[in-house]
Structure 1
Amino acid sequence: MSNEREAAVTLKGNPITLVGPELKVGDKAPDFVCDQGLAPTISLSDMVGKVKIFNVLLSISTPVCQAQTRKFNEELSTIGGDLEAYIVSSDLPMSHKTWCGAEGIELIKGIADYKDNVFGSTYGVLMKDHKLLCRAVFVIDKENIIRHVEYVSEISQEPDYDKALSVIKGLV
């Protein structure tokens, strides 16, 4: 695969190769189109005029990913404004909907990157050998410029919520 980043992150201390570019603050957020199975496709170009947070997870079925989603849902619910929040993982679309529904998570929508790994390879979060996404957070402004990015260096750890939330508060 092209644009591989060896040992870009670790999972329980083991080096993981990521596929795709390492995006940086100030970069134009790349567009993507993710097939959502029976639901309509979803793309960055569908999210016009709003601040976006992409909360990237390995799987919504893991405890750390669930904690990350709960924390962002709780914190973002107090911010308001023109904000759209998403969890992005390689799970099936129904997994997001089922888990979020059972947990009362209404603010965050799911993006299922299970079919073609388009989001993962475009945002540089696709784990080459696992075909799952690494833990990351992207905050994108209304003009689709990346204002915060964190590729969590140890995937089993949670992201730095305070940094992401501080950037979001400054944008909405």
Structure 2
Amino acid sequence: MSDITFKGEKVNLMGDRVKEGQKAPDFTVLGNDMSKKSLNDFDGVLLISVVPSLDTGVCDSQTRRFNEEAETLNAKVLTISVDLPFAQKRWCGAAGVDNVETLSDHYDLSFGKAFGVAIEELRLLARSVFVIDSNKNVTYCEYVKEVTDYPDFEAALEAASKAE
């Protein structure tokens, strides 16, 4: 069992947690057009916001917040969930979110297992935030203890603004 809970119940996370200072592990996810994307498809600083599902209140708010901040942030913001690419595209259109790139890990949980955030019991991703610098090093990671809580927005944004 991990120290992460979902609605107060401990959950098992698949994969190993990443740590600040290590090389970011590669992963394969799907874009909204069903194209495969990996870490190497992105240049520069990345802020990766991980949510269980865009169709929940906290995930919706988290993604909207990072979408607003992305306008002035010197980082590309990715939101990864296990929602289907079609649902992500629909959600972005309905929410007016266009500064964040949504990516789906539904196929094989490649990202979730690589970053240690795949919830075994639920086949969802645990709420977390990662900052990866332009050399593909992890410079910030937050594994939110209770999946239904918000991440520390200020700490994540500060880490992204300092990353090069």
TM over 0.5: yes
In structure 1, the partner of 2:105 is 113
**Cα root mean square deviation, aligned:** 1.4
- Tell me if 1:169 matches 2:161: yes
Deviation at 1:171, TM superposition (A): 2.2
> What is the percentage of aligned positions where both structures have the same residue?
37
In structure 1, the partner of 2:81 is 89
Match of 1:158 among 136, 150, 153: 150
Contact 2:129 2:142 in 1 (8 A): yes
Deviation at 1:7, TM superposition (A): 2.6
Change (3 A) 1:149 1:115: same
In structure 2, the partner of 1:3 is none
Structure 2 CA distance for aligned equivalents of residues 56 and 16 of structure 1 = 16
Q: Which consecutive residues of structure 2, in runs of 5 or more, have no partner in the other structure?
A: none
Q: Which consecutive residues of structure 1, in runs of 5 or more, have no partner in the other structure?
A: 1-5
Match of 1:33 among 21, 28, 53: 28
Deviation per residue, 1:64-86 (Å, 9 max, x gap):
0001001111122122x3x2111
In structure 2, the partner of 1:13 is 8
How many residue pairs get matched?
164
Q: Please, which moves more after superposition, 38-47 or 22-31?
A: 38-47
Contact 2:83 2:104 in 1 (8 A): yes
Structure 1 CA distance for aligned equivalents of residues 160 and 30 of structure 2 = 27
Structure 2 CA distance for aligned equivalents of residues 124 and 131 of structure 1 = 13
In structure 1, the partner of 2:60 is 66
Letter aligned with residue 82 of structure 2:
S
Deviation at 1:110, TM superposition (A): 1.1
- Tell me if 1:145 matches 2:134: no
- Tell me if 1:23 matches 2:18: yes
Structure 2 CA distance for aligned equivalents of residues 91 and 124 of structure 1 = 18
Q: TM-score, normalised by structure 1?
A: 0.91
Deviation per residue, 1:28-79 (Å, 9 max, x gap):
000111245852100001113x100111000000000001001111122122
Contact 2:80 2:103 in 1 (8 A): yes
Contact 2:82 2:106 in 1 (8 A): yes
- Tell me if 1:131 matches 2:102: no
Q: TM-score, normalised by structure 2?
A: 0.95
Structure 1 CA distance for aligned equivalents of residues 30 and 142 of structure 2 = 25
